[in-house]
Each structure stands twice: as C-alpha cells, then as structure tokens.
Amino acid sequence: MILIDQPKLALRKIIPFLFIILLSHGIAYSQMFYLRDSIEVVRLEKELANSTGTNKINIENQIAAIIVNYDPERSFSLSQATLAASEEFSYPVGKAFALSNIGFYYFLQSEFIKAFQYQTQAYGIAQSLNIPELSMLIYERMGYIYYFSKADEQQIINHYEEARKYHDEVGNKNMAASMLVIIGGGAFRIGNYQVALDYFNRFLRYTSNMEPPRLEKLIVAYSMGDIYFQWREMDKAIELYKSSLALMDFNFVEEMALNANVFLKIGDYYLAANQPDSAMIFINKCYQQCKAIHYTRGEMKACIKLGMFYKSRGEYEKSISNYEEATRLGYIIDSTGLLFNDAHFNKFIDVTDETWMSSPTAYRKFHGKLGILEGLTNLMELYQITNHQDKALKIIDSTLTIKDEILKFQNRTELMELKLKYESENKEQKIELLARENEIQKRKTHQTRLLLFSFLGFLILILLIGILYIRQNRIKSSQKNMQLQQKLLRSQMNPHFIFNSLASIQNSIINEEPEKASTYLARFSKLMRNILDSSVDEFIPLEQEISTIENYLSLQKIRFPEKFDYSISMDETLDPTEIHIPPMLAQPFIENAIEHGFRNKETTGHIQISIYHEKGNIMYTIEDDGIGRARAQETSIKLDNNYKSLATQITRERIAVINKKLKQKISLEIIDLKDEAGIGVGTKVVFRLPGKL
C-alpha cells in the first residue's frame, strides 16, 4: 500500500546517511573510510535481512553507494534492482538515489555521457521532491564528471562552489571547507595554479577558527607545495612539503604513498640544486617506501627518475635496469587499472598529485601507459648506446603500439568531452526553459490580455535566443572537429616515414652491414623521440622542426651516401626558439626529392632549405635540383601503374584546416624549375607563414 507522506518519512530516515556519503565524497575514499564503510556495510546487511518495501530499497541504495568504489559491479547490480523496485513501488526518493548510484558507476567506468545522463535524471527528481541533501550529493557527483572529463572546466568550480554555499548556509562548515579544497584541486588539475592557490588560501582563512580534518590540511599543504614546485619557487615548495610530512599519519597506506611522493619531489629539488647525493637518498627512500606498500604507480615514477639520473651520469646498465622496471610496472597498471598491486590495498586510491578523488579506471590505466612510453623510448636509445641493437629492434613495435594507444585515448577523451559539453549545455538550456515556462504558467492565471501579448513577445525572444545558442554550439562543435581532423591528418603522415625508415634498417641488416644499421638505428631512435614529442602538438618551435629535419636528412644520407647533399640556412635575425610552425611541413617534400627527384639523376643532387623574413612573414623554402615533378611522375608510373603521390594533397589539407583558425593564413606554392629548353631541373616548395602563430 502506498502512503501519501511516504517521501517525507523516507527522507527523515535517509538524511543522516546522505551526510555520511557527502563526507566520504568530500576528498577521497581513503583507507580510513574503507575501514569505517566495511563496518557500516556489515550493519546494513543485518538490517536488510528483516526489511521489506521502501525500507529495503533505502538500505540497498545505501549499500550500493558505499561499495561503489570497492565493488563497483555489485553496486551496479544492486542499484539496478533498487531502480526497478522503486518504479514498482512508485517511490521517487529511491529512484533518484538509484539513478545517481548507477551514474557514479558509469563515471568510474569512464562512460561520462551515460554518467551525466543518469545524474541529470536523478537531480531532476531530487529537485522536484525538494530534498537538498540528495540534490547536493548528485550535484557533487556531477562535479566529479567535469573534474575528470574537463569538458567544461568552469563547471568544476561552478558545481562545487554551489555545494560550498549550500553547506555554509546550513552550518556544515567542515563540508564547506572540503568544497574549497576540491575547487582548488580542480583549478590545479586544469593548470590554473593562481586560482588553485587562492582557493587553498581561502581554506586556510575559513578554517582558522575551527579544526578541519587532518587529511584536508595535509592535502592543502602538499598541493600548495606542488603549485610552488610548478612555479620553480623551490624553497617555498620544500617548506610546504616538509610541513605536510608533519601532518601525516603513517597508519594509513595512502598517506605513506603521499609521503613517498614528497620524497620524490624533494629528490627533484636536490637534482635541480646540483646535489646528486642528497637527491639519490630521497629518490631511493621514495622507491623503498612505495615497494613496501605495493604502491605500483609510485614505484614506476621512482624508477623513471632513477633511470633518468643514471642515464645523465653515463651509468647505462643501471639506467636500463630502472627503465625496464618502470616499463614492467606501467604494464601492470595498464592491465589492472589498479595503483596498489596488493589484494589488501588495491581498493584504496592514490591521493598524490591531482588524484584526490575516486578516479575512473581508464584514467588510472592512462598513467600506466605514460610510464610505459617513457620507459620504452628511453630503453630504445639506451640499448643502442650499449650496442644491444637486437633489443632496440624488439621494442620498436611496442613503442609504436603504446604511443598509438595514448593517442587513441586522448582522441576518444576529446570526443567524449565534446559530447559531454553538448549534453551539459543542453541540460542547462532545458532547465532554463523549464523555469521560464513555469513562471509563465503562473502569470497566465493572473494576467490580462496585455500580459498575454507580452508573453507572446517573450516567447519569440526565447526562440531567437535558443536559435543563437544552438548556432553557437554548432560553431564550437565544428571547431572541435577541425582539431580532431588535423590530428588525424598528421597521424597519417608519420607512419609513412616510419615505414620507410624501418625498411632501411631491415635492408642494412639483411645485407650484413652492422655498422650502417647501428648508426641508422641510433639516429632513428633520436628522430623517433622528436616525432613522439611533436606529434601531439599543433605547433612546435622552429628549433625543434630544424632538428627533426636535420636528423631525417642525416638518416637519408646514410641510405643514399652518393645520391645527394644538403644545406640548411636561416636568417640570423630569426629566433628559432620563439617562432612556432606546424610540425613536419617540409619532410614530405624532402622525401619526394630524395625518392623521386634524384632517382634517375646521374650526378649528385642537392637540397637547399632556407628560412628567412619577407614583409612580416616567415618564408620556409625547400629547393632541389632533381629531374623535376613531371619526369619523376612518369618514372614512378612506369614502376607502378597505381602510383599516386599524396604528400601535396595531405599537406594542403592540413594547411586548409589550420587556416580556418588563423587570421593570417599559411600558403603553399610549388614551383617547377626549368632550364632554357623547358626541361625540368628541379622543384621549389615555398611555405609563407604568418610572423606569429
């Protein structure tokens, strides 16, 4: 039987628990919460045995909310059951809570769109029931989505600022203080360090006359140290790190992990201060402490730092050992999605750096992938230095695979962020329209015919605003798609060059030319590092582009020692560190000159690369004295009837996409050089770039 006052009765029972959940969500699901929550689950399960109807729904929702971080699949199953039961009993409180729990489950699976949709449904029900405690729980969970997706960075601050105001108004000072810490963390995560520092200082002022939780004071001190570390104000950073050490309770695993991370930061400080012995003491302390608590991510970071240290000192075997261990640990994180590789600790989270909250599995795996890439790229170089070419060759495929996985994750995340931003804006628009419609409905019963005309005019205005709003969203979506398209085009160019380079290494090995293969592999590993560094950026410094081209030409010179020579000249007035250009512009045309322009040329060819100022523009030219495009095309078609050069087409498409976002455009001109008899004697490619990009 359904009682009319059922939601109110249920509300009185569920409010104390909602405050517990809000407190648990404040900063992190740490070991202290895990122990407390485990006891609470046992108590609730005893109550569940004798419960029926809406009371059973309430208890199951509470259990699902507690265990979602520790046993997400059971939480999801329970929430689906309570959602169905709430529908059967026409119980909106239970439905809203179940929808929010399901949404949080999807958040942990990195399915942000589904998570947002479920939380939006739950929030609408909670608002209609006027349950502020449940509304705030849902609102803060929506903040989690913005926190990790970065779909709309301002929403991180908006959501938690709204929650802070609510907790402050109802006198829940500890939760209001927690919101300041989370907002500061959100600003830090998106790189807005000054805003982050302002919020952390607001926390210190707000809590000056109260005693906030020790963990929050610890995180604030540590995080402020991180901000000054980013700003390279090392003395302030070290002072704050040391103050955080004094706040730590080493009975808790996460705080031991945080302590290890402080050791690593202090080690960085001593490295920067050119005190390697002190640095090694702290880096080794970090490693040993991480190893003792099976903190995989901390071990991985320490091994990378040790590998870097030994590499800089020429102790290559030690460097290799540490990079190999870092790579192994990275694969563990990537395969399990766990930051602690121990059955007792793997439910805990990492409270170091920006990950103070329950983070999605894919986000944790991404940290593992980054560690793998760092390890493999350095190992490829170190194996070559130590004459282990066979090992270097074996990890090339793994390096390319992990780099591809990272790019796919970034592209997938970017697309998901775009969709989530659309969902968010659509939700806000619906809420705004619904509020206006309710207001209009109230006025209709009290207004005259004049108000009716005003109402019609108001609707027209709303329609115009809606049209402009939708049009603006489409423009934003189009710009985002352009960025994705540009990255796709650039990723299509790199594999073409990599394939040719690997083929050359293979030929040298087959022809039993070990010295040539060794030299080629050394240069190739350096070039690969440049390509990996530049492939995720739209623009790179001119200095980096020149370095990449020099490496590339040196590699081709090894393949064709008598075929061509080259020279690179640059206007002395240009600063290659300040000028930025799209990466790998010249490489396709240099490759065409070598592969096709000089193929049938009897004398040694020459490639001249020039960079200079002209009328406020940067001129970037590639000139060769090959056989010309027409004869090269004829020769290529004879060798392969299906031959079709894509270099020019892809480059023009890249420039077209870039130009849509630039006021001053980039232009490309290809000039066929001919002698007096009209016979092709080379090709000149001219890029005209704006003075500032």
How far apart are the C-alpha atoms of 203 and 181, rounded to whole Å?
7
Q: What does the DSSP assignment read for 19-43?
A: HHHHHHHHS---HHHHHHHHHHHHH
Reported as a single tens digit per residue, the pLDDT across 598-617 is 877 888 999 999 999 998 89
Q: What does the DSSP assignment read for 615-637?
A: TTEEEEEEEE-SS-HHHHHHHHH
Residue bearing the bigger pLDDT, 255 or 101: 101
With b for 16 or more beta-carbon neighbours within 10 A and e for fewer, the 420-440 pattern comes to: bbbbbbebeeeeeeeeeeeeb
- What average pLDDT score do residues 662-679 get? 89
Contact 358, 33 (CB under 8 A): no
The answer to whether residue 117 scores a pLDDT higher than 60 is yes
How far apart are the C-alpha atoms of 686 and 673, rounded to whole Å?
13
How far apart are the C-alpha atoms of 323 and 305, rounded to whole Å?
9
Helices (H) and strands (E) in the chain, counts: 25, 7
pLDDT at 352: 47
HSE of 496, CA atoms in CB hemisphere, 13 A: 16
Burial of 642 (0-12, 13-18, 19+ CB in 10 A): exposed
Nearest alpha-carbon partner for 455 in 443, 445, 463, 467 = 443
Q: Give the relative orientation of helices 296-312 and 361-385 as an angle to the nearest 10 degrees.
A: 20
The answer to whether residue 398 scores a pLDDT higher than 80 is yes
- What average pLDDT score do residues 400-407 get? 89
Nearest alpha-carbon partner for 597 in 568, 558, 560, 625 = 625
How far apart are the C-alpha atoms of 367 and 516, rounded to whole Å?
37
The answer to whether residue 478 scores a pLDDT higher than 70 is no
465 — pLDDT class (breaks 50, 70, 90): confident
Residue 21 CA, chain-centre distance (Å), reads 28
Burial of 131 (0-12, 13-18, 19+ CB in 10 A): buried
- What average pLDDT score do residues 664-688 get? 91
How far apart are the C-alpha atoms of 122 and 131, rounded to whole Å?
11
Quickly tell me which residue has 């405050």 as its tokens. 19
SS3 (DSSP) at 684: strand
The answer to whether residue 462 scores a pLDDT higher than 50 is yes
Q: Rg of the chain over CA atoms, in angstroms?
A: 31
Q: Considering all CA atoms of the chain, what is the largest pairwise distance in Å, rounded to the nearest integer?
A: 101
619 — pLDDT class (breaks 50, 70, 90): very high
144 — pLDDT class (breaks 50, 70, 90): confident
204 — pLDDT class (breaks 50, 70, 90): very high
The answer to whether residue 76 scores a pLDDT higher than 70 is yes
The answer to whether residue 439 scores a pLDDT higher than 80 is no
Residue bearing the bigger pLDDT, 358 or 32: 358
Query: Hey, what are 577's tokens?
Result: 């560190």
283 — pLDDT class (breaks 50, 70, 90): very high
CA distances from 634 to 445, 560, 595 (A): 82, 22, 14
How far apart are the C-alpha atoms of 588 and 542, rounded to whole Å?
17
* Side chain identity, residue 453: F
- What average pLDDT score do residues 544-565 get? 84
pLDDT at 567: 93
CA distances from 144 to 151, 172, 354, 507 (A): 11, 21, 13, 53
Any idea what the Cα angle at residue 631 is, between residues 628 and 633, rounded to 5°? 100
CA distances from 655 to 32, 598, 620, 669 (A): 55, 27, 14, 12
530 CB-near residues (< 8 Å, 6+ apart): 544, 547, 548, 551
33 — pLDDT class (breaks 50, 70, 90): low
Reported as a single tens digit per residue, the pLDDT across 205-261 is 999 988 887 878 888 998 899 899 889 898 898 899 888 888 887 777 777 888 888
Q: What does the DSSP assignment read for 214-265?
A: HHHHHHHHHHHHHHHHHTT-HHHHHHHHHHHHHH--TTSHHHHHHHHHHHHH
CA distances from 420 to 148, 149, 407, 467, 489 (A): 12, 8, 20, 20, 25
pLDDT at 514: 78
- What HEC string does 466-516 produce? HHHHHHHHHHHHHHHHHHHHHHHHHHHHHHHHHHHHHHHHHHHHHCCCHHH
* Side chain identity, residue 690: P
Residue bearing the bigger pLDDT, 343 or 628: 628
* Lowest mean per-residue pLDDT among 36-50, 151-165, 235-249: 151-165
Residue bearing the bigger pLDDT, 146 or 264: 264
Q: What does the DSSP assignment read for 575-621?
A: -TTT-EE-TTSSHHHHHHIIIIISTT-SSPEEEEEEEEEETTEEEEE
Contact 57, 75 (CB under 8 A): no
The answer to whether residue 467 scores a pLDDT higher than 60 is yes
Query: Hey, what are 375's tokens?
Result: 């390890």
Considering 225-229, 487-491, 502-506, the range whose residues carry the highest mean pLDDT is 225-229
Phi first, then psi, for residue 180 (nearest 5°) are -60, -40
11 — pLDDT class (breaks 50, 70, 90): very low
- Give, as one character, the DSSP assignment of residue 340: B
How far apart are the C-alpha atoms of 398 and 377, rounded to whole Å?
10
Quickly tell me which residue has 């270099």 as its tokens. 647
Query: Hey, what are 562's tokens?
Result: 């008598």
- What average pLDDT score do residues 182-208 get? 88
Residue bearing the bigger pLDDT, 252 or 542: 542
420 CB-near residues (< 8 Å, 6+ apart): 112, 113, 116, 145, 149, 151, 152
Query: Do the bridges between strand 605-614 and strand 564-570 make them parallel or antiparallel, or are there none, so unpaired?
Result: parallel
Q: Give the relative orientation of helices 153-169 and 132-149 as an angle to the nearest 10 degrees.
A: 150
1 — pLDDT class (breaks 50, 70, 90): very low
The answer to whether residue 87 scores a pLDDT higher than 90 is yes
Contact 261, 286 (CB under 8 A): yes
Nearest alpha-carbon partner for 245 in 266, 229, 227 = 266
How far apart are the C-alpha atoms of 453 and 87, rounded to whole Å?
42
For the beta carbon of residue 328, count every other beta carbon within 10 angstroms. 16
- What average pLDDT score do residues 104-128 get? 85
SS3 (DSSP) at 670: strand
Query: pTM of this prediction?
Result: 0.51
- Give, as one character, the DSSP assignment of residue 687: E
HSE of 450, CA atoms in CB hemisphere, 13 A: 0
How far apart are the C-alpha atoms of 359 and 376, rounded to whole Å?
26
Residue bearing the bigger pLDDT, 626 or 2: 626
Q: What does the DSSP assignment read for 251-307?
A: TSHHHHHHHHHHHHHHHHHHHHTT-HHHHHHHHHHHHHHHHHTTBHHHHHHHHHHHH
pLDDT at 339: 82
* Lowest mean per-residue pLDDT among 14-18, 171-175, 455-459, 471-475: 14-18
How far apart are the C-alpha atoms of 256 and 566, rounded to whole Å?
57
